[in-house]
Amino acid sequence: MALTNAELKMLKSLRTGRGSAERRLFLAEGVRLLEESIRFRVRPQAVYVATNRLGERGVALAQRLKRARIEVTTVPSTQMDAVCDTEASQGILAVFNRPDTSLEQLGRTPPRTVLICDGISDPGNLGTLLRSALAFGFTLIALCGETAEAYAPKVVRSSAGAIFGLSIATVTTTQMIDWMHGHGYKLMAADQRGEPLATVAATIRRTQHLALAVGSEARGLSPEIARAAAHRIRVAHDSTVESLNAAVAGSILMKECYDLCHTKSS
Amino acid sequence: MALTNAELKMLKSLRTGRGSAERRLFLAEGVRLLEESIRFRVRPQAVYVATNRLGERGVALAQRLKRARIEVTTVPSTQMDAVCDTEASQGILAVFNRPDTSLEQLGRTPPRTVLICDGISDPGNLGTLLRSALAFGFTLIALCGETAEAYAPKVVRSSAGAIFGLSIATVTTTQMIDWMHGHGYKLMAADQRGEPLATVAATIRRTQHLALAVGSEARGLSPEIARAAAHRIRVAHDSTVESLNAAVAGSILMKECYDLCHTKSS
């Protein structure tokens, strides 16, 4: 049951951010990611397996998907390898609808904490930030500027499945700033020359709607976000190193906000 | 002034962890990394430049190195590309002696905080952990188990130069446990089923010699480290996600230890 050339071409096109954006679909590869999609109750459009590549856990997963009446197509392992982004494919791959979120939709129930990726260009960093965002309750993610494509395979993989549990909006910086303004968000922007987060702890605790922006790995914040920020905050650390990895810095700031929002004020 | 085939082969061999370990040398590519090496006063053995690739900052760097009487060899850009690990080389590359540290050397002045990488197999994660370690005062790093090679190009790059400021020892798990025991270290091991770090805050504040172990991305802690740990600690987060990225989790725990060791007890 080999795929036709047209089907193969369509699947391969989803490996690029552009192809994924144009077709409103994205790929997720491997057993763990698909197990996570089930946990988040996100239903794939189609699943492909290379039977001889499936381990025990992969076979069980394929059966579970079939029982849920999801179409599982068996393909030759050469075709699986041609589509997969990872070097050692686990023999299972799924196509999902892209659940891109619009800010209009979000206006109805604006979440307490929002993460703005203001030019995170490395897909691994973006995926890692998504994983941390879900862990620390930042359930809405806005991607602005030169940020990597949300649903590129490397982002999906680095998110370790968190991408299935988040609302992700790709927007212009101006749209995002207007939206935050309209919904009463207080914007904190990560900046290594800013004040330590601890100095604005009381403000964070009191804030009903908090947005945290993390800037580009190479260039930092965009001028628009820097200007719109109520406070520029940094992770306190030794001056021996200039800065932290962007995903680490963003994760630490989200963690500190999470702790402040979840503990009683002292 | 093209390199001979033998020289080219030698440089290429340093791109692999094994080649680097055998020759006791490592590569660092690009302007920022070499600027960092100067800041940490680490002198390269040799520097290679492809003049037509150098930007303004690269030219200034090459002149600065020459003034410091470091040999700077001009090579054709094709040879530079053949050696460089990055896709877009900045036209400058240096070879350094590997400053591998032995535990015997460290016994003389055991640092207050030590990071143990207990099977961190992804070079990007290892480099990111090194960068955070230096930022949070974990100046000694022990690499155990299946941890990636410390001086592989991707580790050096992800460390953003922090690798020049750290003592790094590649040791067996048993050697590390014996060494910690002999020097009175208290071992805390990252474990998502452990207790939140806050519950052992008082212990961390009091501890004179603290070691933090971070386990493998896929398998977690090794049985030896898990058994040797005084406490297993975790980053508190929503149960929506199973775990954080290993470099993020390790960085957050180091940050929390850093804060505890640098603030007065409440």
| Stretch among A36-50, A85-99, A232-246, B20-34 having the lowest mean pLDDT | A85-99
Six token digits for residue A196: 């330590």
* pLDDT tens by residue, A26-74: 999 999 999 999 999 999 999 999 999 999 999 999 999 999 999 999 9
What does the pLDDT read at residue B264? 57
Widest CA span in chain B: 64
Q: How far apart are CA A17 and CA A86, in angstroms?
A: 16
Closest C-alpha among B165, B106, B43, B44 to residue A239: B165
Tallying the residues shown for chain A, one arrives at 266
Map tokens 């690499």 to a residue.
B143
Output the pTM of the full model: 0.94
Whether the per-residue pLDDT at B141 is higher than 90: the answer is yes
The sign of the torsion formed by the CA atoms of A142, A148, A154, A158 equals negative
How many other C-beta atoms lie within 10 A of the C-beta of residue A117? 29
The answer, for A131 touching chain B at a CB cutoff of 8 Å, is yes
Residue A160: what pLDDT? 95
- The predicted structure's pLDDT at residue B177: 97
Q: CA-to-CA distance for B174 and A236, rounded, in angstroms?
A: 34
Q: For residue A120, what are its two tokens?
A: 């995170």
Q: What is the mean pLDDT of residues A195-204?
A: 93
Among the partner residues A161, A238, A248, nearest to B248 by beta-carbon distance: A248
Over chain A, what is the mean pLDDT? 93
Number of Cβ within 10 Å of residue A72's Cβ equals 18
Task: Look at residue B94 and tell me whether its pLDDT is greater than 80.
Answer: yes
Interface confidence (ipTM) of the complex: 0.94
Q: Do the chains contact at B134 and A243, CB–CB below 8 Å?
A: no
Q: Nearest-CA residue of chain A relative to B241? A: A135
Q: What is the pLDDT of residue B68?
A: 93
Characterise A160 by phi-psi region: left (phi > 0), alpha (psi -120 to 50), beta (else). Answer: left
Q: How confident is residue A266, by pLDDT bands cut at 50, 70 and 90?
A: very low
Handedness of CA B188, B190, B192, B198 (dihedral sign): positive
Interface with chain A: mutation pick from B129, B244, B259, highest number of A CBs within 10 Å: B244
Q: What is the pLDDT of residue A264?
A: 57
Q: Are A176 and A144 in contact (CB under 8 A)?
A: yes
A15 touches chain B (CB under 8 A): no
Provide mean pLDDT across the span A156-160.
95
Are residues A135 and B236, on separate chains, in Cβ contact within 8 Å?
no
pLDDT greater than 70 at residue A130: yes
User: Is A111 in the B-facing interface, judged by CB distances under 8 Å?
Assistant: no
Asked if A131's CB is within 8 angstroms of B238's CB, the reply is no
Element (H, E) at A232: strand A231-234
Please, what is the Cα angle at B30 between B28 and B32, to 5 degrees? 100
Q: What gap in Å lies between CA B89 and CA B86, rounded to an integer?
A: 6
Q: Which residue is associated with the tokens 């080389």?
A: B89
pLDDT for the residue numbered A177: 97
Count CB-CB contacts under 10 A for residue A40. Answer: 14
Res A260 pLDDT > 60: yes
Percent of chain A with pLDDT over 70: 98
Q: What is the mean pLDDT of residues A150-167?
A: 94
Cβ A80 vs Cβ A53: under 8 Å: yes
